[in-house]
Amino acid sequence: MNDQDEVTGVVLAGGLARRMNKQDKGLIEYDNRPMVSYAVDAMTQVASTVLINANRNISEYKSFGCEVISDQTDSFDGPLAGIFSAMLYAKTDTLCVMPCDSPLIKAEHLNKLLAAFTQNNADIAVAFDGERIHPVFLVLKTSLQNSLNQYLLQGDRKIDLWLQQHKLIKVDFSQNAEVFLNINTLSELNTLEKKQG
């Protein structure tokens, strides 16, 4: 288990959601609740401070009781830009990251990432479903901010390539890979609601 006082959590809600008609994914309802609320619930149980990274609808996101931080640029540069903003804001050595559109993730899954990160003295722990990594579910050292800043300044956006530059541990979630389901389209949302309902 982790020491909660040493972890900052960030929920990534800063994207443009192009496949959702540019609706703000975190605010779309899944099972009668905004999707971001599931992420905030899970993150609040593992982190002393929870941030939401959002670039629009800031006042709505503030209503979830978290500090809302935006990217350093206004060009919607993807998840790494949100992670970088959270690193700059965090007062802790450890940052726990998840997206706003995966309502099946629970605190126990985040705790598994945190435990692997600590036990392996890794720079970054990332979720792995047995076939591929899920690069926006991760725990990392906030001291990597200079490395990430350099990467972003070069114009690079691919999260996997940046992760591979560091001491990376893949955390095996092959037994419950379905929790990483993220909702990119309204039809995926309807399918998941029917399946869970």
Residue 178 in tokens: 């379905």
Q: What is the pLDDT of residue 18?
A: 53
pLDDT, the chain, mean:
89
CB 144 within 8 A of CB 90: no
pLDDT of 128 over the 80 cut: yes
- Residues 27-82: pLDDT tens digits? 988 889 999 999 999 999 999 999 999 999 999 999 999 999 999 877 767 899 99
Q: What is the pLDDT of residue 93?
A: 96
**Does the predicted model carry a pTM greater than 0.75?**
yes
State the pLDDT confidence band at 153, using cuts at 50, 70 and 90: very high
CA 113 to chain CA centroid, Å, is: 12
DSSP state letters, 63-106: TTTSEEE--SSSS---HHHHHHHHHHH--SSEEEEEETT-TT--
* Cα–Cα distance for residue pair 94/90, rounded to 1 Å: 8
